[in-house]
Amino acid sequence: MSEDKFALPENFGKLLSQTFDKAVETDYIAFTPSTSEILDVDGVKFQLTQIDSLSRRPTKGSLDANPFANPEPELTVVQSYVDYRIVLNKFPVVRDHFMLVTSKFVSQDTPLTPVDLQATYHTLLAANKGTGERHFAFFNCGPESGASQPHKHIQFMRLPALSTGFVPFPDLLAMSSPAFIPTSTQEPLQRKDLPFAHFVAAFPSPAEIAALGQGLDEEAFGLYFISLLQRVMTIMRENDVSSPSYNFVMTEKWMMLVPRSLGYFTDGDLLLGVNSCGVLGLVLVKNRMLYELVKAKGPAEILGQLGFPNTSGIASDEYHY
Ligand code: AMP
Ligand code: AMP
């Protein structure tokens, strides 16, 4: 498949923010700036953010009232890109929060395909280009993943600025290791000291890609993803889970999968939904009580209860789908 098919407009970043500003001005998007703070748990950074407007976001979508069947034109950034539309999130967490939404209905419970992954990678590069900012893509898959809409959508958000002190923990893992080779017995990266299983594959560096003489293609992304998904499916099988749930996060440097056992953390009447952003360390709450709850319980502890035990150090021959 030709690379050109995945090219986005040169000025994609500008197009995004112009569409966002217009949608806010005309009230198609209600965006309220948030308050946040950085928590450091043994060197792992978490950003805790409170956004009151999140209470207006629908918690469960349905096929009958599917907002992605015909997205609002005012929210649409690119009408046709490969097999997708590029649409702004109506209930954004940060400015320019957007999504790749499949043009035709595809279930959110299906795994990402090589084309999904290649389109995601190119969209990340286009969103980063010339902006001095980094974005991440995420995909909440399965009933306990924090997903709310059944129509396939991959979301994109800007990472917090370096000046906030937030560093996504997979960045540190990827920096400390050579690129992942999905066909070998090399294990994906996993931090021992986090209380939940997570599987990180580092991509080759730009210099390594240049030496190979070709960019990362659909096949490479497909192999990375399948290799991580195998580890997730092993855990699901061992725990007799019939409908697997996981979070997927990707930047221009790595991809990560996190198997999920529960979508919500509960404490008495308090209910805290956690999706892919949360497993990356970006924890979002809708009100002050939940904010205090996360601080009191600790974000890493909470994630430990919503995932499966860490498998760091267990070799793949003992541990294969
Ligand atoms: P998830 O919760 O991962 O399934 O993501 C679904 C996203 O769709 C949420 O972040 C919502 O904010 C967003 N959303 C819900 N309704 C609409 C809509 N009508 N147009 C655009 N985005 C929407
Ligand atoms: P709920 O509507 O109760 O499902 O909760 C809001 C959703 O936002 C949950 O799925 C959360 O996991 C998700 N979320 C948590 N942190 C973030 C974040 N930093 N950015 C976007 N969404 C988030």
Q: Number of structural domains, the chain? A: 1
At residue 186, the pLDDT reads 82
Answer yes or no: is the C-beta of 149 below 6 A from any ligand 1 atom. yes
Q: How far is the CA of 313 from the centre of ligand 2 (A)?
A: 31
Q: Which of 45, 46, 54 to mutate to test the pocket of ligand 2 (most atoms within 8 A of CB)?
A: 54
135-148 confidence digits (pLDDT tens): 999 999 999 999 99
Neighbour order of strands in the sheet with 98-102 = 76-81, 84-88, 98-102, 153-158, 135-141, 246-250, 254-259, 199-202
How would you classify the pairing of strands 246-250 and 199-202?
Answer: unpaired
Confidence of residue 31 (pLDDT cuts 50, 70, 90): confident
Q: What is the rounded distance in angstroms from the CA atom of residue 302 to the CA atom of residue 274?
A: 9
| Ligand whose nearest atom lies closest to the CA of 275 | 2
**Which domain range does residue 200 map to?**
3-57+66-312
Within a domain: 137: yes
The verdict on residue 125 lying in a domain is: yes
Ligand 1 center–CA 169 separation, angstroms: 26
Whether residue 173 is contained in a domain is answered as: yes
DSSP 75: G
> Which positions are catalytic?
153
* Six-digit token string for 215: 């960019």
Flag whether 23 is in a domain: yes
Report whether pLDDT(1) > 50: no
Identify the band that residue 52 occupies on the pLDDT scale cut at 50, 70 and 90. confident
Distance 105 CA to ligand 1 centre (A): 15
Is the residue at 319 inside a domain? no
Contact of 119 with 100, CB cutoff 8 Å: yes
3 — pLDDT class (breaks 50, 70, 90): low
Q: Tell me, yes or no, whether 317 lies in a domain.
A: no
Q: Which atom of ligand 2 is nearest to the CA of 274?
A: 12
What CATH number is given to the structural domain containing 42?
3.30.428.70
How far apart are the C-alpha atoms of 13 and 10, rounded to whole Å? 8
Query: Does the Cβ of 124 fall within 6 Å of ligand 1?
Result: no
* 302 alpha carbon, closest ligand: 2
Quick one: average pLDDT of 96-101? 97
Residue 320 forms part of a structural domain:
no
State if residue 222 touches ligand 2 by the CB under 6 angstroms criterion: no
Q: Does residue 321 form part of some domain?
A: no
